[in-house]
Amino acid sequence: MEDISYMFKPIVLVTGFGPFLNHPVNASWEAVKLMNKDEIESKHNVELVQLELPVTYENVDEFVPALWETHEPKLVIHVGVSNIAKCMTIEQQAHKKGYQRMDYFDKCPANHVCSAGSALRICTKLDVQDICDKFNDGNPISDTSAELSLDAGRYLCEYIYYTSLSVDNSRTLFVHVPDLNVYSSEQTARALERILDLCWRQIKEMDVVTDKLKTTKLDAKE
């Protein structure tokens, strides 16, 4: 039988949110959809999947686990807008409880608790400090910058982050982007591409370590 495994490229999934409240045009999706799919796929030998998600808890509960199961992504970057962000804001963690803000359909989760996972808090295993430092040191877009955050807002942004972190926190990141009056969609798209590059570098480095550990274990058995 012909080996066709080489035809299947790893998937990088990037999501943005649709309209809500005072954001009839959501800066997150406007930027995500402008990310250069062809360039990213050629550069990293991946398939880039860009998706817009509704700002509802129910849709996150339904779609996000299904996206993980269907695409088996190598990297997931969720993107949302923050009206207090002044730059690219890289979130380090998400919580299971405290979701009291109503979504687009004036609903919130039962008991204000995320339906996924069990831990009270989950942190990403991606090195967010390294991502932030390298973004600010080597970002070719001189008029954008990045900072770290420990508070993702206890709304849909943190809810979707927790949901994906509960599936695999070794390859999940959330980025809050500022509104359109701070960065243009094009600026934010280029900044997201830079963050994707830095995440992908870490993913590949982790793969090298994992492969070495597997080889060591196999050698030990012989």
Q: Of these residues, 23, 30, 176, 199, which one is catalytic? A: 176
Is 108 marked active-site?
A: no
Is 157 marked active-site?
A: yes
Q: What is the residue type of 174?
A: F
Residue 89 pairs with which residues in a beta bridge? 147, 176
How many residues make up the chain in this entry?
Answer: 222
Which residues have CB under 8 Å from 206's CB, separation 6+? 170
Is 176 marked active-site?
A: yes
- Cα–Cα distance between 95 and 58 in angstroms, integer? 17
Q: Of these residues, 91, 95, 158, 199, which one is catalytic? A: 91
Contact status, residue 81 vs residue 178, Cβ threshold 8 Å: yes
> What is the 3 state secondary structure string of 83-137?
CCCCCEEEECEEECECCCCCCCCCCCCHHHECCCCCCCEEECCCCHHHHHHHHHH
- Cα–Cα distance between 89 and 128 in angstroms, integer? 10
Q: Of these residues, 87, 114, 132, 157, which one is catalytic? A: 157
Contact status, residue 131 vs residue 145, Cβ threshold 8 Å: no
Name the residues annotated as catalytic.
Answer: 91, 157, 176
